[in-house]
Structure 1
Amino acid sequence: MKQGCLQPQKQPDKQCNECHLPLFACLCDIIPTLSSAITFWIIQHDNEPAKSTNTGWLIRASMPKTRVFIWRRVLPDTLLLRLLRDSTYQPCLVFPSIYAVAKQPVFTPVSFKKNKKRPVFIIIDATWQQARKIYRKSLYLHHLPLFSFLSNTSSIYTLRRNKHHHHLCTAEIAAAVLDSQGDVQQASVMMSLLQVFCDRYEGAKLGQRPDNYFDVRRITKGVV
């Protein structure tokens, strides 16, 4: 099992620490490692780690270089601030331009290729209302190049209610970033992971035991 996942033989009636699913439906063992030049840094609202419907963990579990920072309004994460100043990386913020401050620089793919820095995409992991607040209160994000896109498809995420069908969950945003940067297969696998997670979550509420073999095929083939 992946690090952080509870051992089912020791605690059969518990939930997994990583995927928050009941252990009979745990997804951790079948999550592949995705290879990509892209790194994700996730700024997470402090309510999210305890939510069983959170999807940011799928990014961390499938892409080990992912870093997660818990957002604090009064005291920003010192490691995050230091990394933002590190010349090794070229971070950009994934966020809707309609909610961004005026004159925030815009991300262009050419910039990564020219400076040969490690591309980092920062995603705010929270509800949409919380994400806007986090952005507004985090002035250190306002100078970063902004990666903004409009989704032409409806979200497949069904575990939380959303006022707008085109608002994507955190894992879907990561998949959209991967796809935009040419990592089409990785994006497809991320979407398949999300679909399997949603299906297992809904099935677990009914006591349904998943078919690992079937779900592995869905994930590895990138079938959503």
Structure 2
Amino acid sequence: MSAPAAGRDPAPRFSQHGSWHSQVSHYLPPRSLSQHGSWHSQVSHYLPPRSLSQHGSWRSQVSHYLPPRSLCRTMPLPFPARVLTMSDTPPVLENAVTRLRQQELAQSRRAFIARGGRMIRCQHCLLSLPLCLCTQRPAPSDEVAVCLIFYKGEVYKPSNSGRLVADVLSDNHAFLWNRTEPDAALLALLTNPAYAPLVIFPFQYADTQQCLDTPDKLQQYQVQASEQQRKPLLILLDGSWREARKMFRSPYLSGIPILGIEPLEPGNYQLREAAHDYQLGTAEVAIEILQQLGAATASSRLAAYFALFRERYLAGKPRH
């Protein structure tokens, strides 16, 4: 095969799937779901800033990221996917995690460049655009609430699985961690009588009196919450293991009951290297906790959603 002429864009890849335009259109959401104007502006909406992309012309930038179609087949899910309509709130505002990320981006003086920073990512799920997960979000559950407290920088990371929990639980809250000057809204949430908060953390690092480490203690918590009409509120500390331990020592979390899990087999996170085999990702922990609390539907939906997220994230990694 002859090399492309100098100064010209290389031929688009995977041409067996039709014209270049139809290849790109295959990965765009239905036009009825997109309010970004023309076809070109719809695609451009998902391109990173030009300063982050050095692949030449607009056309070659898009072509560079077209993956094999075999990686992007629509995979059936064991739960009903929520159908987006024109009247829906834009995805960037759909949960507290994406709102927090946008707030932090607006205040940041320097862009956060993750690994694979040149990849064209969906600005909502942060996966490679052709592997976007947004249309596969499950119908949310409201039986349990979640509060995600992020260590600095964690909310930007494409490998973060905490945002999946916020997609599955409709009553979701997200804050940036600060040990001495916590967000006033976070403090108000922790003392809100409508919620029965639980810090999710391994028992061995906590005061035994705070731990719901037996079935009787957990049942007592659930009965009391039900009688007082208080919704369980999961407090998830999202960061590396070292960062989570630092967040756990925050004064405003003291006195809150602690619920943990004791995994019997190594985690299947695969998106980052864990310090120990039995350390799990945020979504994996939430799956087990929801099961313990009797929220079986939310647990199974999150498990399937996380499995799809992991598969697509790994498919989009270079040299995977």
Same structural fold, with TM-score higher than 0.5 when normalized by the shorter chain = yes
Percent identity between the two aligned chains: 29
1:143 aligns to what? 255
- For the 8 Å contact 1:39–1:119, the answer to whether it is kept is yes
Q: Which of 157, 160, 176 is the equivalent residue of 2:288?
A: 176
Larger relative contact order (CA 8 Å, sep ≥ 6): 1
Query: Aligned residues, how many?
Result: 204
Distance 1:127 1:207 in 2: 24
* Code of the aligned partner of 1:176: E
3-state SS, counterpart of residue 9 of structure 1: helix
Q: 1:125-171 deviations in whole A, cap 9, x for unaligned?
A: 111111001111x1111110111221123211101011222211111
Measured after TM superposition, the shift of residue 67 of structure 1 is 0.6
Q: Which of 39, 43, 52 is the equivalent residue of 1:9?
A: 43
1:30 aligns to what? 136
Distance 1:29 1:64 in 2: 16
Q: Within 5 A, what are the aligned runs for 1:54-133?
A: 54-101=160-207, 103-104=209-210, 106=212, 107=218, 108-133=221-246
Distance 2:206 2:123 in 1: 35
3-state SS, counterpart of residue 45 of structure 2: coil
- For the 8 Å contact 1:97–1:148, the answer to whether it is kept is yes
Measured after TM superposition, the shift of residue 88 of structure 1 is 1.6
Q: Which of 156, 163, 184 is the equivalent residue of 2:268?
A: 156
Distance 1:87 1:182 in 2: 21
Q: Would the alpha carbon gap of residues 157 and 170 (structure 1) be closer, same or farther in structure 2, given more than 3 Å must change?
A: same
- Calculate the TM-score normalised by the size of structure 1: 0.82
RMSD: 2.3
Q: 1:26-75 deviations in whole A, cap 9, x for unaligned?
A: 10111112324111111111221111110011111222311111101231
Q: Would the alpha carbon gap of residues 6 and 47 (structure 1) be closer, same or farther in structure 2, given more than 3 Å must change?
A: farther
1:166 aligns to what? 278
2:154 aligns to what? 48
- For the 8 Å contact 1:69–1:80, the answer to whether it is kept is yes
Distance 1:110 1:70 in 2: 32
Measured after TM superposition, the shift of residue 12 of structure 1 is 4.7
Distance 2:140 2:307 in 1: 17
- For the 8 Å contact 1:101–1:142, the answer to whether it is kept is no
- Calculate the TM-score normalised by the size of structure 2: 0.59
* Code of the aligned partner of 1:50: Y
Distance 1:109 1:63 in 2: 18
Distance 2:157 2:196 in 1: 30
106-115 or 85-94, larger mean C-alpha shift: 106-115
1:221 aligns to what? none
